[in-house]
Amino acid sequence: MAVREDLIAGIDAALAGHWDEAHAFAQRHENDATGCWLHACLHKMEPDEQNSRYWYRRSGHSYEEYADPKAELAAIRAALTY
Protein backbone atom coordinates (compact mmCIF):
# COMPACT_ATOMS: atom_id res chain seq x y z
CA MET A 1 0.00 0.00 0.00
CA ALA A 2 1.33 3.47 -0.87
CA VAL A 3 2.18 5.91 1.92
CA ARG A 4 -0.78 8.22 1.24
CA GLU A 5 -3.32 5.43 1.15
CA ASP A 6 -1.82 3.85 4.26
CA LEU A 7 -1.97 7.12 6.22
CA ILE A 8 -5.54 7.80 5.08
CA ALA A 9 -6.45 4.32 6.35
CA GLY A 10 -4.82 5.32 9.65
CA ILE A 11 -6.94 8.47 9.80
CA ASP A 12 -10.08 6.44 9.10
CA ALA A 13 -9.14 4.01 11.88
CA ALA A 14 -8.58 6.89 14.32
CA LEU A 15 -11.92 8.46 13.47
CA ALA A 16 -13.60 5.08 14.00
CA GLY A 17 -12.06 4.85 17.46
CA HIS A 18 -9.52 2.17 16.55
CA TRP A 19 -6.47 3.83 18.12
CA ASP A 20 -4.17 0.76 18.03
CA GLU A 21 -4.87 0.17 14.35
CA ALA A 22 -4.33 3.86 13.54
CA HIS A 23 -1.09 3.84 15.52
CA ALA A 24 0.16 0.81 13.56
CA PHE A 25 -0.39 2.70 10.29
CA ALA A 26 1.49 5.74 11.64
CA GLN A 27 4.39 3.61 12.87
CA ARG A 28 4.91 2.22 9.36
CA HIS A 29 5.75 5.73 8.13
CA GLU A 30 7.96 7.20 10.85
CA ASN A 31 10.35 8.61 8.23
CA ASP A 32 7.58 10.56 6.48
CA ALA A 33 6.69 14.04 7.82
CA THR A 34 2.96 13.46 7.38
CA GLY A 35 3.25 10.06 9.05
CA CYS A 36 4.95 11.80 11.98
CA TRP A 37 2.11 14.34 12.05
CA LEU A 38 -0.48 11.56 12.25
CA HIS A 39 1.61 9.84 14.93
CA ALA A 40 1.74 13.11 16.92
CA CYS A 41 -2.02 13.63 16.68
CA LEU A 42 -2.68 10.07 17.84
CA HIS A 43 -0.51 10.51 20.92
CA LYS A 44 -2.27 13.80 21.63
CA MET A 45 -5.58 11.88 21.54
CA GLU A 46 -4.20 9.17 23.84
CA PRO A 47 -3.20 11.51 25.74
CA ASP A 48 0.58 11.29 25.94
CA GLU A 49 1.77 14.87 25.61
CA GLN A 50 5.50 14.19 25.85
CA ASN A 51 5.43 11.53 23.13
CA SER A 52 3.09 13.67 21.05
CA ARG A 53 5.45 16.65 21.21
CA TYR A 54 8.32 14.43 20.03
CA TRP A 55 6.39 13.46 16.91
CA TYR A 56 5.28 17.05 16.30
CA ARG A 57 8.94 18.15 16.26
CA ARG A 58 9.62 15.51 13.61
CA SER A 59 6.54 16.51 11.59
CA GLY A 60 7.18 20.25 11.27
CA HIS A 61 3.89 21.01 13.05
CA SER A 62 3.24 22.08 16.63
CA TYR A 63 1.27 20.62 19.50
CA GLU A 64 -0.67 23.86 19.84
CA GLU A 65 -1.60 24.14 16.15
CA TYR A 66 -4.94 22.32 16.58
CA ALA A 67 -7.08 22.09 19.70
CA ASP A 68 -9.53 19.56 18.22
CA PRO A 69 -8.02 16.20 17.14
CA LYS A 70 -10.84 15.57 14.64
CA ALA A 71 -10.13 18.90 12.94
CA GLU A 72 -6.46 18.01 12.90
CA LEU A 73 -7.17 14.60 11.36
CA ALA A 74 -9.20 16.40 8.67
CA ALA A 75 -6.22 18.70 8.02
CA ILE A 76 -3.87 15.73 7.75
CA ARG A 77 -6.27 14.08 5.28
CA ALA A 78 -6.40 17.31 3.26
CA ALA A 79 -2.60 17.39 3.14
CA LEU A 80 -2.60 13.81 1.82
CA THR A 81 -5.22 14.42 -0.87
CA TYR A 82 -3.84 17.61 -2.46
3-state DSSP of 32-44:
CHHHHHHHHHHHH
Parse the chain into domains and list their residue ranges.
3-80
pLDDT at 9: 96
Rounded distance, CA 17 to CA 61, Å? 23
pLDDT at 53: 97
Q: pTM of the entire structure? A: 0.93
pLDDT above 90 for 72: yes
Tell me the pLDDT tens digit for each residue of 9-56: 999 999 999 999 999 999 999 999 999 999 999 999 999 999 999 999
pLDDT above 90 for 1: no
